[in-house]
């Protein structure tokens, strides 16, 4: 079960700062997966969700900083996607603090989509632009 969210070479962009953040991010997803599927105490679930939210925000800022610096043409769509991800993950965070609902399935589905659709597809689109500006 612990291997569910696994770092893959498919996620490597050869941009060190971004790769390091993505690698850490995938390890966080893996911990979320463990904690929720093993029904860890709610307090533990909240801590890992807080960490996920905070790290996501730092990571989005890093990407968006380079969008601005490199005048990335896909910036607006990408920033909108970040806003949506942020809203969803914060909704999970709220629910875990206030609700009694079992978030596991919805949360895991959401994180899986995030990994596949956002990291593996949308993030990949900026790689050429970042490389062209000498980022590696």
- Interface residues with Fe ion (CB under 5 A) are 63, 123
* CB nearer Fe ion, residue 11 or residue 35: 11
Shortest CB 116 distance to Fe ion, Å: 12
**What is the Cα–Cα distance from 66 to 125, expressed in whole angstroms?**
13
* CB nearer Fe ion, residue 30 or residue 123: 123
* CB nearer Fe ion, residue 72 or residue 96: 72
* CB nearer Fe ion, residue 30 or residue 63: 63
Shortest CB 122 distance to Fe ion, Å: 6
Shortest CB 44 distance to Fe ion, Å: 26
Residue nearest to Fe ion (CB): 123
Q: Nearest 5 degrees, angle CA 19-CA 63-CA 53?
A: 85
Size of the chain, expressed as the number of residues it contains:
136
**What is the Cα–Cα distance from 124 to 128, expressed in whole angstroms?**
8
Contact 11/26 with Cβ under 8 angstroms?
A: yes
Shortest CB 60 distance to Fe ion, Å: 6
State the angle between helix axes of 104-113 and 16-37 in degrees (0 to 180), rounded to the nearest 10. 160
* CB nearer Fe ion, residue 82 or residue 107: 82
Instruction: Compute CA distances 107 → 45, 63, 87, whole Å.
Output: 11, 24, 13
Query: Tell me, what DSSP letter sits at residue 117?
Result: I
Shortest CB 89 distance to Fe ion, Å: 13
């Amino acid at each position: 079960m612990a291997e569910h969210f696994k770092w893959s070479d498919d996620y490597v962009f050869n941009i060190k700062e971004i790769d390091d953040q993505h690698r850490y991010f995938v390890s966080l997803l893996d911990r979320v997966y463990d904690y929720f599927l093993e029904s860890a105490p709610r307090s533990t679930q909240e801590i890992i969700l807080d960490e996920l939210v905070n790290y996501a925000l730092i990571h989005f800022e890093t990407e968006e900083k380079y969008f601005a610096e490199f005048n990335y043409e896909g910036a607006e769509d990408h920033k909108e996607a970040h806003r949506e991800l942020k809203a969803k993950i914060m909704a999970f965070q709220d629910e875990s603090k206030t609700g009694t609902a079992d978030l596991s399935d919805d949360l895991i589905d959401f994180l899986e989509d995030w990994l596949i659709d956002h990291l593996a597809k949308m993030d990949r689109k900026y790689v050429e632009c970042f490389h062209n500006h000498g980022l590696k």
